[in-house]
Chains A and B, each alone.
Chain A
């Protein structure tokens, strides 16, 4: 299967700082990337969908100014959690797909905000 790399795998930051998470498709061009949030022992919750070169589409209840998404190239999307607070602590997962095909998932990023 296709490879999606997510970095970092774990980040700890102080409250009020911003954190950037990268998602890269290593062996295919990702026309669409998705960002999910997952709480312990729960399913994935879609936060936003981003198409290369376009603004991301956010799901209801997700603050676009809080979670900045950039998809500037066909192999890279970034999620920036701005002014992070302890309630933003979670497991964030990206996925990538090409022209509406199967989504391939990254390994996830565990964010801990102190």
Chain B
């Protein structure tokens, strides 16, 4: 069974601070997605990474896929209250595109 370990589970920081969320696995994924979810809504796709070592930037968010495609990180620079939400990583091993989700990271950015 493929597992994605996501950490930390909960993060409460002040506006302007930086943070990193990690997803790790012993399995190789063909692609990895990061989602952000607000209470009472569905997850919204932030990014998909597919190539080992790939780095993608989305404004203040930087996503990295490990060289071996077993791990990924999300770094947020100068966090803002609007970044508050549940962040989920999800990996796909290919073949039917069933996703394996991490446990999620609840981020709270205080102003």
Contact = CB atoms under 8 A, between A and B. Distances in A.
Contact of B40 (A4, A32, A43, A110): A110
A102 B48 contact: yes
Contacts of B44: 105
A6 interface: yes
Given A41-B86, A102-B33, A102-B48, A108 B42 contact: yes
B43 interface: yes
Contacts of B40: 91, 108, 110
A35 interface: no
Contact of B104 (A32, A42, A102): A42
Contacts, number: 56
A67 interface: no
A42 B103 contact: yes
A108 B39 CA distance: 10
Interface residues of B, number: 23
B97 A101 contact: yes
Interface string B16-52: 0000000000000000010100001111110010000
Contacts of A100: 94-97
B103 A32 contact: no
Interface of A: 1, 4, 6, 32, 34, 41-44, 46, 49, 91, 93, 95, 97, 100-108, 110
